[in-house]
Amino acid sequence: MSNMVMVLAAIAVSAASGLPSLLSRSRAGQVASALVLGAGALVGVAGLIPVFGPSSPISLVAEWGLPWGGFSVGLDALGGIFLLPVFIIPTLAAIYGLGYRDVRDHPEGGRGFDVFYGLFVAGMALVVVARDATLFLLAWEAMALSSWFVASAESDKAEVRRAGWVYLVATHIGTLLLFAMFSLWKASTGSFALVSAVAMAPGTAGMIFVLALAGFGLKAGLVPLHMWLPGAHANAPSNVSAVMSGVMIKLGVYGILRMTSLMPRPELWWGWTLLALGCLTGFAGIAWATGQADIKRVLAYSSVENIGIVAMGGGLALLGRSLGRPTLILLGMGGALFHVWNHGLFKSLLFMDAGLVIHETGTRRLESLGGLLKRMPVAAALFAVGAIAISALPPLNGFAGEWLIYLGFFRGVSAGTGPGLPAAAAGAAVLASIGALAVAAFVRVFGTVFLGSPRSPSPSKKGNASRRSAEWLMTAPMLLLVLACIVVGLAPGLVLPAIGAAAAEWGGLRNEGLTLVGLADFSWTLPLALALLVLASGIYGLFVLSARRGRKTARPTWDCGYAEPTPRMQYGASSFSEFLGRSLSFVAVRIRKSEPPEGAFPATGSFSSKAPDPVLDLAIRPLASLARRLMPGMRFLQKGQTQLYLAYILVATVILLALGAATS
């Protein structure tokens, strides 16, 4: 109970955290807001820790002025998993934001930004603790709207406005679908209270599942419902993108998991649907990511991919539940939840890092970046770690998470015969392919941004003291995140019990002998990491030694003896992904425009390729414009003739009378 109060207090504090900077729109106010937010987060985390223990879920119901439902909130391990990032990451992002969007440099966007940022955080936290549909919707929309506000902070740019609009529309459809979902929920359970339903008509349950999948999937960014995600993430300020991608979209996943855990035994097709969607989302997401020309769009699409991985784990767990296989429930759900945490860590890290790059060079275009490692070594190192982690490569946390899901798939194979469960394990192959593509995508970004030599003379900003402090403010949170990635990667055992508890709770296995810790033995991670470290650094040391021996003469890359390799001859981002793109053309559309050089001494020659979003740019936008062209077609009904209007009245009367006569 007391922790519940603490968490609620934390929510209240973060909701109010914007006030200082609203009252005094000065640097001091901005700093104060960040501090208040941080304080709230600390309280919240403190209140949160116990829920992962053996303690049973806490809940609290208070009377509420709305005609139905009460102000009922609850805390449990499943919620805790999602609540922890909600409290931690936005705080880090806020500190980062102090350097990234100094209110003195952004007077216009400054107004209200921190207010909505605070509301955003509070909304997300409330979503997780809400145990009543109305309260949930309230929190949900608070989250959606405030996130829209902070995401379109730079709404002077038309591009930002467009992206913001798409996001707003998408999130509104989501909310309407949730209206329907919760209405059905009430219709079948008799109340808006979100407590596990004992029995439910299969038809209704299936309908609710589909609606939840659609409504929450929009927020989570399941393909093809991801259309808002890349634009919104790319055009939001980087500290906001970090929170949106690292935390907010996970709450879509949370919604799906919460509803499925509340409903009685799921039907088989639910698990299949979620698994299939997960595979599609993961593969398509990363395939699209490899083609993007904008560093933040790459990260955004990779978020789609990661959501897909989480969904795969969830689907596996659902299958496990409907087939009554605890091992699959624990491994699948455990992997999903673990990945939720991991993605929160490294994706926010990467977005912050991208922000650092943008802050330094002022561009998001990969083609005009390059060779930044020499200029910003720390950022490069951090990005490298993040990239390895997000490509799920050992020995970092990304691998630890996916390892659980893989284990689940392999268990699925060895478990039982006949089609069905083993077939699901084919997901492992998809996951492997996703992993390989992730490596491709992030080598591409890391290579084009930090390695090689600069592709365009980027404006070198004067290094004054305030900028130093800004960089320091931005780097510190990233260091923490990297540290977390490494620690979790080396010793997953530290967090496994919490995740296991949550997974067990989701599957209703809270008090059974089988635990995730028992299923997944992570004792190998540390030795492996050490071995890698020792070997690699040893070899590296040898190289350095022999390099010392060599004559120190700086010479350009040999490059098969090219006379003058210029930066513009480097393999750019689009050329890097060209071959990959061609082999992925079955899922990733690429629009190429090229005029090859003609003749012996070609004057000109050009090639350009861009990767539109298949769903948004090739499906939705055309449909929308079609609708815009058709709608006015019906306007002839109202051309201003009074006589016509009066005729309408007569006609309406006659028709209604006819109707009335017919129905009587």
Q: How far is the CB of 51 from another protein (least distance, A)?
A: 26
Stretch that binds another protein, among 41-49, 269-277, 345-353, 577-585 (CB under 8 A): 577-585
Task: Considering the complex, state which of residue 89 and residue 387 has its C-beta at the smaller distance from another protein.
Answer: 387
Which one of residues 175, 322, 456, 609 is an interface residue with another protein (CB under 8 A)?
A: 175
Which one of residues 87, 167, 351, 442 is an interface residue with another protein (CB under 8 A)?
A: 442
Task: Considering the complex, state which of residue 358 and residue 373 has its C-beta at the smaller distance from another protein.
Answer: 373
Ranges within 446-475 binding another protein (CB under 8 A): 446-448, 451-453
Q: How far is the CB of 279 from another protein (least distance, A)?
A: 11
Q: Which two tokens stand for residue 437?
A: 């593509």
| Residues 329, 253: Cα–Cα separation, whole Å | 16
Ranges within 183-222 binding another protein (CB under 8 A): 183-184, 186-187
DSSP notation for 194-239: -S--S---HHHHHHHHHHHHHHHHHHHT-TTTTTTHHHHHHHS-HH
524 binds another protein per the rule CB under 8 A: yes
Alpha helices in 362-390 (DSSP H): 372-375, 377-390
Stretch that binds another protein, among 232-240, 268-276, 335-343, 536-544 (CB under 8 A): 536-544
Site track for another protein across 259-298, x = CB under 8 A: ----------------------------------------
Q: How far is the CB of 45 from another protein (least distance, A)?
A: 26
| Residues 125, 83: Cα–Cα separation, whole Å | 6
In one letter, which amino acid is 658?
Answer: A
| Residues 276, 222: Cα–Cα separation, whole Å | 11
Q: Which two tokens stand for residue 323?
A: 């087939």
The three-point CA angle 435-441-446 to 5° equals: 120
In one letter, which amino acid is 102?
Answer: D
559 binds another protein per the rule CB under 8 A: yes
Which one of residues 11, 153, 392, 516 is an interface residue with another protein (CB under 8 A)?
A: 392
Stretch that binds another protein, among 2-10, 11-19, 420-428, 502-510 (CB under 8 A): 420-428
Task: Considering the complex, state which of residue 79 and residue 435 has its C-beta at the smaller distance from another protein.
Answer: 435
Stretch that binds another protein, among 334-342, 470-478, 569-577, 587-595 (CB under 8 A): 569-577
Strand 58-62 versus strand 71-75 pairing type: antiparallel
Q: How far is the CB of 108 from another protein (least distance, A)?
A: 8
Which one of residues 28, 268, 378, 436 is an interface residue with another protein (CB under 8 A)?
A: 436
CB proximity list for 175: less than 8 A, separation 6 or greater: 137, 140, 141, 144, 215
Ranges within 537-556 binding another protein (CB under 8 A): 537, 539-540, 542-544, 546-547, 549-551, 554-556
Q: Which two tokens stand for residue 153?
A: 């902070």
Site track for another protein across 476-515, x = CB under 8 A: ----------------------------------------
- Helices 465-490, 377-390: crossing angle, 10 deg rounding: 30
Which one of residues 567, 589, 610, 620 is an interface residue with another protein (CB under 8 A)?
A: 567
Under 8 Å between Cβ of 311 and 222: yes
Q: What is the dihedral of CA 206, 207, 208, 210, to 10 degrees?
A: 90
| Residues 566, 372: Cα–Cα separation, whole Å | 16
Q: Which two tokens stand for residue 452?
A: 């090689």
Stretch that binds another protein, among 194-202, 350-358, 528-536, 597-605 (CB under 8 A): 528-536
Which one of residues 117, 182, 254, 288 is an interface residue with another protein (CB under 8 A)?
A: 182
Which one of residues 109, 394, 493, 508 is an interface residue with another protein (CB under 8 A)?
A: 394
Q: Which two tokens stand for residue 273?
A: 């649907």
Ranges within 111-130 binding another protein (CB under 8 A): 111
Identify the sign of the CA torsion 105, 111, 117, 122.
Answer: positive
- Helices 202-220, 249-262: crossing angle, 10 deg rounding: 170
Q: How far is the CB of 461 from another protein (least distance, A)?
A: 22
Count of residues touching another protein (by CB under 8 A) = 152
Ranges within 53-92 binding another protein (CB under 8 A): 64-68
Phi, psi dihedral angles at 156 (to 5 degrees)? -70, -30
CB proximity list for 74: less than 8 A, separation 6 or greater: 4, 57, 58, 59, 60, 129, 131
CB proximity list for 350: less than 8 A, separation 6 or greater: 299, 383, 386, 387, 390
Under 8 Å between Cβ of 212 and 251: no
Q: Which of 88, 148, 447 is nearest to 295 (CA)?
A: 447
Ranges within 136-165 binding another protein (CB under 8 A): 137-138, 140-142, 145, 155-156, 158, 161, 165
598 binds another protein per the rule CB under 8 A: no
In one letter, which amino acid is 367?
Answer: E
Stretch that binds another protein, among 268-276, 339-347, 354-362, 643-651 (CB under 8 A): 643-651
363 binds another protein per the rule CB under 8 A: no
Which one of residues 388, 389, 488, 503 is an interface residue with another protein (CB under 8 A)?
A: 388
Stretch that binds another protein, among 47-55, 175-183, 231-239, 494-502 (CB under 8 A): 175-183
Task: Considering the complex, state which of residue 370 and residue 477 has its C-beta at the smaller distance from another protein.
Answer: 370
Which one of residues 426, 486, 615, 620 is an interface residue with another protein (CB under 8 A)?
A: 426
Which one of residues 435, 477, 489, 492 is an interface residue with another protein (CB under 8 A)?
A: 435
| Residues 568, 367: Cα–Cα separation, whole Å | 10
